[in-house]
Chains A and B, each alone.
Chain A
């Protein structure tokens, strides 16, 4: 059905409105970082500072251990991605391909772990980490984040593997692969979009965490993640909102870059042509 001009205008207006709504917080973060303190408290607010304070970024980068915090966040997120992908790829593949007695119930049981609020696990996890000496270590975050990520990513991967015809690994096995090598050589390369989406989900969930970092990391500033560090920038009497906003921009940039990098993998369609 061909759209009329007025329908097109309405459609584009709607798209622009939604985009503006979604992008406004990011835009306002940048404006806040670039504004002076006076401009921030001014009413009505300015929508673009008269003289953008670019030096706020260099000041925050130099004065605060932002690079170290970003490194810690990156290590915790990459560790969580690696651990949760390793487990959820194997578990998702098993749930998708092997029918064992009670397998479906086990799969649902794994998913129920996702239904628990993250804060419910804080106390038992803290108790375990303290007894094994992981408090203050980034490993505590890697493990804790994985407990939140794995239930969901296992089902994400299962759902993706379900869409891949079984005949592909059967063909690979007839061609001489073992079940494991059929998965590695044939199924995983085809599942790249699913793997990318799952990894991105895991990375974002770990990167965005504050509660676990606040609980499991000590007062040693060098072990903080970026999200934890940024909350300490709020002073008791004076708060430099532009500096906090500048730090927040630094924290947001890696996620945006990763998304841009993985975006082409997120688009499906790689399996086209495998079968009729």
Chain B
């Protein structure tokens, strides 16, 4: 186990900068998740950390040792790949023991450690099989076994669950978290799935276009997003965004009402002249209970999930066109927990607590509160 220090690492292919000045300090035993959309540079960072790709600049220290120029095998790390990368010509036992064999560990010791890893991952009965005779979940366990048997300084995991079906993914997610708690090895986990990131991580690193957007624990990311991108990326369904105008003093104008906010008037005016004010409210903080800021909508679509309903409605004059994803096109969403009968097109009174509002500057996307 070891701490990891990534200092100003960057990577470019010709004129294309895929990773820009990435710096991150990871504590011993920490579980850090790199998350972001495709092409954000998260897998590139992991490969640079593993030594599979050279960095264009910067330094990497694992356990205080500079490993920037070391070969992957000399970094004392283990990696779990998205497609498992099990050696198809070897049995499960030989797959798990391969790394130990390469390091010249005596056969009896390899056998003992492979048996121990197989016991931890409940794959003892599969040791004599070949990878093609295993199910997806079993292959994933063998890939994990290959990592833990080496007792490395750190685990690197590159979207290890993305090839599993939804049910198995939830199960393996819990298994990996439990495994981390049990053996406590520093882990860096890459995923594009925000739910994996939020449920597994001690800290999450959100990336976009090769740049770190925010590094924080899951609760902070949810409650205090640093910018529009983070606010839109975290949460399911995503945060609602509304174009707002400044009102008198520390307040904004929304749905024809003055809504008090915890941002001073000058800052609001500055943001207004700098791309406008964007107000964000999470779907779960909109309710039918009344109180706070109330407004009337006509739902365009109601999706029932049994225990809750997703109510879609039009933002009208507050439509924010800065985000162009699927959910933004659907309009705004309220996530209503109770199951009273609702009908599309019929008036519905909704409300939210102004303290739950997030405010952003339109141009830079930076959070104002």
Contacts and interface: CB of A to CB of B under 8 A. Distances in A.
Interface of A: 165, 167-168, 170-178, 181, 186, 189-190, 270-276
Contact of B98 (A172, A189, A190, A272): A172
A176 B103 contact: yes
Given A170-B81, A274-B131, A276-B83, A175 B88 contact: no
A274 B136 contact: no
Given A165-B83, A172-B98, A174-B79, A190 B73 contact: no
Contacts of B102: 175-177, 181
Nearest to A164: B88
Contact of A189 (B47, B71, B89, B103): B89
Given A172-B98, A174-B52, A174-B78, A273 B73 contact: no
Contacts of B98: 172, 175
Contacts of B85: 165, 167-168, 170-171, 274-275
B88 A276 contact: no
7 contacts: A167-B83, A170-B50, A170-B52, A172-B87, A174-B78, A190-B88, A273-B130
Contacts of A172: 87, 98
Contacts of B82: 167
Contact of A270 (B79, B88, B150): B88
B139 interface: yes
Nearest to B78: A174
Interface in B98-119: 98-99, 102-103
A275 B146 CA distance: 15
Nearest to B152: A174
Q: Which of B84, B133, B136 has the most CB of A within 10 A?
A: B84
Contacts of B73: 173-178
Q: How large is the interface on B (under 10, 10 to 19, 20 to 34, 35 or more residues)?
A: 20 to 34
Nearest to A171: B85
B130 A173 contact: no
B328 to A, nearest CB: 32
B136 A174 contact: no
Contacts of A177: 73, 102
B104 to A, nearest CB: 9
Contacts of A174: 50-52, 72-73, 77-79, 99
B132 A273 contact: yes
A220 to B, nearest CB: 46
Interface in B16-39: none
A70 B146 CA distance: 50
Nearest to B73: A176
A274 B51 CA distance: 22
B134 A273 contact: yes
Contacts of B103: 176
A145 B136 CA distance: 46
Given A189-B89, A190-B89, A276 B84 contact: yes
B81 A167 contact: yes
B143 to A, nearest CB: 9
A181 B103 CA distance: 13
Given A167-B81, A171-B85, 8 more contacts: A174-B77, A175-B99, A186-B87, A190-B88, A273-B130, A274-B83, A275-B84, A276-B163
Contact of B72 (A167, A173, A273, A275): A173
B271 interface: no
Q: Which of B50, B51, B87 has the most CB of A within 10 A?
A: B87
Given A170-B52, A176-B103, A177-B102, A274 B86 contact: yes
A190 B163 CA distance: 22
Contacts of A274: 83-88, 131
A177 B73 CA distance: 6
Contacts of A271: 88
A273 B131 contact: yes
Contacts of A168: 85, 87
Contacts of B87: 168, 171-172, 186, 190, 274
A171 to B, nearest CB: 4
Contacts of A171: 79, 81, 85, 87, 146
B89 A270 contact: yes
Contacts of B132: 272-273
Contacts of A275: 83-86, 163
Given A190-B89, A273-B88, A274-B87, A173 B139 contact: no
A276 B165 CA distance: 11
Contacts of B83: 165, 167, 274-276
Contacts of A190: 87-89
A177 B51 CA distance: 12
Contacts of A181: 102
Contact of B52 (A173, A178, A270, A272): A173
Nearest to A99: B13
B139 A273 contact: yes
Contacts of B71: 173, 178
Contacts of A170: 47, 50, 52, 72, 79, 81, 85
Contacts of B139: 273, 276
Q: Which of B50, B79, B88 has the most CB of A within 10 A?
A: B88
A189 B98 CA distance: 14
Interface string B134-170: 1010010000001000100000000000010000000
A170 B146 CA distance: 14
B149 to A, nearest CB: 10
Contacts of B150: 175
Contacts of B77: 174
Nearest to B104: A176
A115 B82 CA distance: 41
A181 B72 CA distance: 13
